[in-house]
Amino acid sequence: TGNATIDISRLPKELGYFTYDPGFVATASCHSAITYLDGDKGVLEYRGYPIEQLAEKSSFLEVCYLLFHGELPNEKELTDFDQIITTHTMLNEQMKRFYSGFRRDAHPMATMVGVVGALSAFYHHDEDIHDPKHRMITAHRLIAKMPTIAAWSYRYANGQPMVYPKNSLDYSSNFLYMMFSMPTEEYTPDPLFVKALELLLILHADHEQNASTSTVRLAGSSGANPFAALSAGIASLWGPAHGGANEAVIRMLQDIVDSDNDVAHYVARAKDKDDRFRLMGFGHRVYKNFDPRAVIIRKTCLELLEQLGPDNQYQELFDTAKELEEIALADEYFVKRNLYPNVDFYSGIILLAMGIPLNMFTVIFAMARTVGWISHWNEMIADDDFRIGRPRQLYLGSEPRDYVEIENR
Ligand code: ACO
């Protein structure tokens, strides 16, 4: 608390104890059975299943089912789930008009915050959040509609017609179809990109009590409409210290390439405490050894670039990223602070290679994390201990004093 004086007599006393933990570094805000992290060992599990196995064998929709329901679906359950999601992919036609209220150059994350929040105006009446069936339908709606909302934010920004979902396509293909198909020509999503997108969605689907998930929980803990709570989560995700890092990484790598690859200069800047610059895509609150998602993504990125051929235009960014990683990992500053590449360090290069524009990167993260957010919201409300989230504070302000009349101030 720096030089501030703490008046012990003014600390909260109702419970007989008080903890001060800025940033919630060591405080559990809830209990959860969804995702397990071991930051020292680099372990990430969804409902007990290692992320490496899910990344290799599962599909995004199967992971959605797992995260929300707690178990892997059997064949029939997965087919039914797939079908239910498919029936919810459309947006109310009025939403098209809602998009046109935004500036064309708005960041698509701003549009996402608005559109997802606006859905609370469509799904509210007579819906009881304490009814598990209602919560499940809310999850279906959100998982299904997010790719449509995301793709439409891109289409609107480009002045292109909105493309309706094509329900014969799988989840990821449908998103790419809504992003890139034109009325003038046939569009078939590249299977290579579909596979890469599925992987990115799986790896970003949940990450326990990160900033955006905690935001959704806190917003939803007052009993607020879940679409409005999700909108708050999207706002939180947008920041560069969280989901916005994937966009910031590419901007940083491009700057390095443009500076004749002066990687050492950027590493030196990141270490300089008088410079606010940080290595984007580096460091994590929980992972202090390695981020298992980054390991998988780096491998996938390399494979994708190999398949695109040696002259692909993204190779230079990848080589720069690799060099940056090598230099940083051999540097005492980063070693001492346990700073490693995180999930976002290589993901942007994959998205770029898929033709996804930079400002859509965090939108895709939001699409993936939607299932995590709604699963946590569902778990929180179903919990017998469910109560409004209400953090306390350490008051460092003025002592009690008397009001001073304005003419005497
Ligand atoms: N570059 C340079 N130094 C860093 C970096 C970095 N990327 N990350 C942390 N540090 C330094 C800090 O300056 C601090 O140094 P100090 O001990 O000398 O003061 C120390 O490492 C600890 O950093 P904190 O900011 O206290 O760590 P915290 O857990 O609060 O922050 C965070 C974690 C936000 C991820 C941070 O590492 C960061 O800003 N990284 C860059 C942004 C990024 O990639 N975000 C994506 C995270 S993953 C996700 O949300 C999907």
Ligand 1 mean position, distance from CA 55 (Å): 26
Check whether 353 has a pLDDT greater than 60: yes
State whether the Cα torsion 385-386-387-389 is positive or negative: positive
Ligand 1 mean position, distance from CA 340 (Å): 10
Query: Nearest residue CA, atom 34 of ligand 1?
Result: 241
Q: Which residues line ligand 1 (CB under 6 A)?
A: 23, 241-243, 245, 270, 278-285, 337, 339, 342-344
Check whether 313 has a pLDDT greater than 60: yes
Site to substitute for ligand 1 among 27, 278, 325, 367, most atoms within 8 A of C-beta = 278
pLDDT at res. 128: 87
The predicted-structure confidence for 180-194, as pLDDT tens digits, reads as follows 999 888 899 999 999
Closest CA to 73 of 63, 84, 83: 63
Residues, the chain: 409
State whether the Cα torsion 270-273-275-280 is positive or negative: positive
pLDDT average, residue stretch 69-81: 98
Site to substitute for ligand 1 among 21, 203, 247, 284, most atoms within 8 A of C-beta = 284
3-state secondary structure the chain: CCCCCCCHHHCCCCCCCCCCCHHHCCCCCCCCCCEEEECCCCEEEECCEEHHHHHHHCCHHHHHHHHHHCCCCCHHHHHHHHHHHHHCCCCCCHHHHHHCCCCCCCCHHHHHHHHHHHHHHCCCCCCCCCCHHHHHHHHHHHHHHHHHHHHHHHHHHCCCCCCCCCCCCCHHHHHHHHHHCECCECCCCCHHHHHHHHHHHHHCCCCCCCHHHHHHHHHHCCCCCHHHHHHHHHHHHHCCCCCCHHHHHHHHHHHHHHCCCCHHHHHHHHHCCCCCCCCCCECCCCCCCCCHHHHHHHHHHHHHHHHHCCCCCCHHHHHHHHHHHHHHHCCHHHHHCCCCECCHHHHHHHHHHCCCCHHHHHHHHHHHHHHHHHHHHHHHHHCCCCCCCCCCCCCCCCCCCCCCCHHHC
Query: Nearest residue CA, atom 24 of ligand 1?
Result: 285
The predicted-structure confidence for 268-297, as pLDDT tens digits, reads as follows 999 999 999 999 999 999 999 899 999 999
pLDDT average, residue stretch 246-271: 93
Per the CB < 8 A criterion, the answer to whether 13 and 398 are in contact is no
The predicted-structure confidence for 203-227, as pLDDT tens digits, reads as follows 999 999 999 999 999 999 999 999 9
| Catalytic annotation present for 331 | no
| Catalytic annotation present for 265 | no
Query: Nearest residue CA, atom 44 of ligand 1?
Result: 281
Ligand 1 mean position, distance from CA 25 (Å): 13
Instruction: Please give the number of the atom of ligand 1 that sits closest to the Cα of 282.
Output: 7
Ligand 1 mean position, distance from CA 284 (Å): 6
Please report, rounded to a whole number, the percentage of residues in the chain having pLDDT higher than 90.
88
The predicted-structure confidence for 341-350, as pLDDT tens digits, reads as follows 999 999 999 9
Ligand 1 mean position, distance from CA 298 (Å): 20
Instruction: Please give the number of the atom of ligand 1 that sits closest to the Cα of 337.
Output: 21
Ligand 1 mean position, distance from CA 292 (Å): 17
Site to substitute for ligand 1 among 282, 332, 351, most atoms within 8 A of C-beta = 282
Instruction: Choose the catalytic residue: 284, 291, 319, 376.
Output: 284
First to last CA, the chain: 29
The whole-chain average pLDDT of the chain stands at: 94
Query: Nearest residue CA, atom 21 of ligand 1?
Result: 337
Per the CB < 8 A criterion, the answer to whether 214 and 29 are in contact is yes
Query: Nearest residue CA, atom 11 of ligand 1?
Result: 337
pTM, entire model:
0.94
Please report, rounded to a whole number, the percentage of residues in the chain having pLDDT higher than 70.
99
pLDDT at res. 5: 78
Query: Nearest residue CA, atom 49 of ligand 1?
Result: 242
pLDDT at res. 126: 64
Check whether 1 has a pLDDT greater than 70: no
Ligand 1 mean position, distance from CA 371 (Å): 26
Query: Nearest residue CA, atom 19 of ligand 1?
Result: 273
ipTM score of complex:
0.96
The predicted-structure confidence for 122-149, as pLDDT tens digits, reads as follows 998 667 899 999 999 999 999 999 999 9
Instruction: Choose the catalytic residue: 82, 206, 291, 344.
Output: 344
Ligand 1 mean position, distance from CA 279 (Å): 8
